Chain A
Amino acid sequence: MYVYDEHDRQILAERVAQFRDQTDRALAGELSEDEFLPLRLQNGLYVQRFAPMLRLCVPYGMLRSDQLRRLARVTRDYDKGYAHFTTRQNVQLNWPALEDVPDILAELAEVEMHANQTSGNCIRNTTTDQFAGVQADEVADPRPYCEIIRQWSTFHPEFAFLPRKFKVAVNASEHTDRAAIQVHDIGLQLVRNDQGELGFRVHVGGGLGRTPMVGPVIREFLPELDLLTYLEAVLRVYNRYGRRDNKYKARIKILVKALSPAVFAEKVEAEWAHLKDSPTRLTPDAVERVKVYFTEPDYQAVPDQSDALAKLRFEHKGFDNWIAHNVETHKHPGYALVTLTMKNTGTPPGDISDQQLDHLADLADRFSFGEVRVTHQQNVVLADVRQDELFELWQAITPMGFATANLNTLTDIICCPGGDYCALANAKSIPVAESIQRRFDNLDFLYDLGDIDLNISGCMNACGHHHVGNIGVLGVDKKGEEFYQISLGGSSHHDAAIGKILGPSFAREAMPDVIEKIIDVYVQNRNDEEAFIDTYRRIGIDPFKERVYA
């Protein structure tokens, strides 16, 4: 993965000094609450329900073992010994003290970590597919482009005070979209044109939140080297014309819709005409320099282990389940992609203790070239595991709580921290996730149900991506009481769709029963191997409505 050079290190060191100065001035009363707010947010620092929350950046989800160990140490020394993986591939600390934050940042900077632009009305962390670089059907590795965007967007002087936050995602697989690019402010799909040249299909104006939208395509093919000048044109049009009078109408999706995608695209093209040949245009050398950091690790020439694995799977049912659900095909023979699930019933989805962080670091060093990836489903991937070491890995992670073989099933729930932590939340989300996990505790039944995305958000801000869950749950406040609204039919994949609201909301105690009824309708109506989302699309929402509200 990317390693800092002296320029990156210097810029980060200067940033740490700057934030220390800003914090000192805030504590000394020289900055008002309002004035400090965007400064601390652009450094990932929220003032939350019980304590500040610090969101650390994990650029496009990649972490090295030394970074994991440092995170573990920071959670021990400055927090309560645990951290939380977010739905945008970042990590959050829930209990740091405001005055400690500059020291935390200094410790993290030593391992090339920071909290830059993890919040605020600026360009946020660029996200991508957790299987980038190791899957067979990839157009090109998206990570070098994510890193190029990271550098360009870091402290961009023109775009530090946008109308609203701005999120970019890049996807490279031809058949899947694990980065959910169509629900981002800008979604970039790597493609090749008819001449075989590399470039991007550009979606602009997707998003979740109060007004969920699937982002329309505003350019079918953007040549690779034009990436940054084009992004600059999109951002400039947004910065000048995005609404600033109403924060709920300030995202770029509202501007794109108001102008129409075609007119918005024309405005971008007109701006881009001035910028496309500027020095911001990438050079082949510049791209190559970053690509060098994402070359293949030192794979051993080992054959696929189908026979040996088949034998072990036959002998150990738990291993068999785990291989079937949490392990995927690697582009390199003899290797496998392993997802470590952070979805143990009883632990909030995405939460990880300091000890587990240290374990992860050891696992990364022992089994996967010292690197892990965080997924937007709040799990962690070891991307380069030798197949002949899978059994040993499975035995090692089972007692650590990373081997729950429920990946992509109903209980692999995406869930925001909700009312237990977050000041914005209308309702708690973690107890809802837990009650559903407890109700559906039979793995064989879960496997029979197949892939179902169940996403829970504690408020309209949609950090739990409820709109694009096959089953979405949204916490709402009704006269001071917490209720939950259900939507069905959402998807964040290539067939992206926003879910439809089922009907009136439910009390928290009713949620497991309601989910069970929805599942019953699916089981009774599905054809053969039909997935939940396909059954829903075939039969529509009414059979679900009739059953749930009967």
Chain B
Amino acid sequence: MPNIIKLDGSVHNDEWQVVARPADGESLVVPEGPALVPVDLWLAGREHFADRSDIGVWFEGHDEPETLDGLVNELPLIAVNFPKFADGRGYSIARLLRERYGFRNELRAIGDVLLDQLQFMKRCGFDSFALREDKDPAKAARCLNFFSQNYQAATDNDTPLFRRRAS
């Protein structure tokens, strides 16, 4: 299981099981305990999950945050998968979930999550990171905090430097 890094750099065990997309013709099997299911399957079967407070969803890069309009805060956790660290779609998905759809609960980066991408993920609204298992979690805090300030607004700070300079 990967280590879960929080914004303060602390390291936690992963409680959440990521449920893979079932093969064609097979149905989704949801395990006991906290689980993340593909977002489109959650949407298709929302009523089945209504009595479970430990079910979240996970996004692929092509999944659209627009589909969760008005529903995001029914979910305790949303994960966004980075199939390869160089695939940057997850950054836009995260900002949209936070800034446009008002998601307030835990937003987690999963998949190919490395140390040098943490700073960008943090700025785009992720607050937990399933660090790839071969990476040293002790270095996460440093990599989250190379920069003490930034030029542009993002989820973590909606005031760009040009507005801070003016005041």
Where the two chains meet, the residues of A that have a C-beta atom closer than 8 Å to any C-beta of B are: 5, 7, 10-11, 14-15, 17-18, 21-22, 30-31, 35, 38-39, 121, 148, 151-163, 228, 236, 239-240, 244, 274, 278-280, 282-283, 285-286, 289
Residues of A within 8 Å of B166, CB to CB, are: 283, 285-286, 289
Measured CB to CB, the closest approach of chain A to B132, in angstroms, equals 10
Most chain B CB atoms below 10 A, which of A7, A22, A282: A7
Q: Mark B38-70, 1 if CB is under 8 A from A, else 0.
A: 000000000000000000000001000000000
- Would you list 7 pairs from A and B whose C-beta atoms are within 8 A, ordered by A residue? A10-B148, A21-B142, A35-B114, A39-B116, A157-B123, A157-B154, A279-B163
The answer on a CB contact under 8 Å between B92 and A158 is: yes
Provided the pairs A283-B163, A289-B162 are in contact, do residues A158 and B154 lie with their beta carbons within 8 angstroms? yes
Residues of B within 8 Å of A156, CB to CB, are: 152
Kindly list the 6 A-B residue pairs having the minimum CB-CB distance in the complex, ordered from nearest: A161-B88, A157-B123, A286-B162, A157-B120, A18-B146, A151-B151
Q: Once the chains are docked, how many angstroms separate the CA of A247 from the CA of B85?
A: 16
For residue B100, CB closer than 8 A to chain A, the reply is yes
Residue in chain A with minimal CB distance to B94: A158
Residue in chain A with minimal CB distance to B114: A35
Measured CB to CB, the closest approach of chain A to B60, in angstroms, equals 12
Measured CB to CB, the closest approach of chain B to A241, in angstroms, equals 9
Most chain B CB atoms below 10 A, which of A17, A151, A154, A161: A161
Q: Mark B100-141, 1 if CB is under 8 A from A, else 0.
A: 100000000000001011011111100000000000100000
The answer on a CB contact under 8 Å between B89 and A240 is: yes
The answer on a CB contact under 8 Å between A152 and B151 is: yes
| Other-chain contact of B153, A11, A154, A278, A289 (Cβ < 8 Å) | A278
Measured CB to CB, the closest approach of chain B to A122, in angstroms, equals 9
Residues of A within 8 Å of B117, CB to CB, are: 160-161
The answer on a CB contact under 8 Å between B147 and A283 is: no
Residues of A within 8 Å of B165, CB to CB, are: 5, 7, 286, 289
Q: Once the chains are docked, how many angstroms separate the CA of A285 from the CA of B162?
A: 9
Provided the pairs A10-B148, A14-B146 are in contact, do residues A279 and B153 lie with their beta carbons within 8 angstroms? yes
The answer on a CB contact under 8 Å between A160 and B89 is: no
Residues of A within 8 Å of B91, CB to CB, are: 157-161, 239
Measured CB to CB, the closest approach of chain B to A156, in angstroms, equals 6
The answer on a CB contact under 8 Å between B146 and A17 is: yes
Measured CB to CB, the closest approach of chain A to B7, in angstroms, equals 14
Provided the pairs A151-B161, A278-B158 are in contact, do residues A161 and B87 lie with their beta carbons within 8 angstroms? yes
Residue in chain B with minimal CB distance to A237: B92
Q: Once the chains are docked, how many angstroms separate the CA of A163 from the CA of B91?
A: 13
Q: Once the chains are docked, how many angstroms separate the CA of A14 from the CA of B122?
A: 17
Provided the pairs A152-B152, A279-B153, A285-B166 are in contact, do residues A22 and B116 lie with their beta carbons within 8 angstroms? yes
Provided the pairs A7-B149, A10-B148, A30-B136 are in contact, do residues A279 and B92 lie with their beta carbons within 8 angstroms? no
Residues of A within 8 Å of B120, CB to CB, are: 157-158, 160-161
For residue B150, CB closer than 8 A to chain A, the reply is yes
Most chain A CB atoms below 10 A, which of B121, B150, B154: B150
Q: Once the chains are docked, how many angstroms separate the CA of A11 from the CA of B163?
A: 16
Residues of A within 8 Å of B146, CB to CB, are: 14-15, 17-18, 21
Q: Once the chains are docked, how many angstroms separate the CA of A161 from the CA of B113?
A: 13
Residue in chain A with minimal CB distance to B154: A157
Q: Once the chains are docked, how many angstroms separate the CA of A156 from the CA of B160?
A: 11
Residue in chain B with minimal CB distance to A151: B151
Measured CB to CB, the closest approach of chain B to A204, in angstroms, equals 17
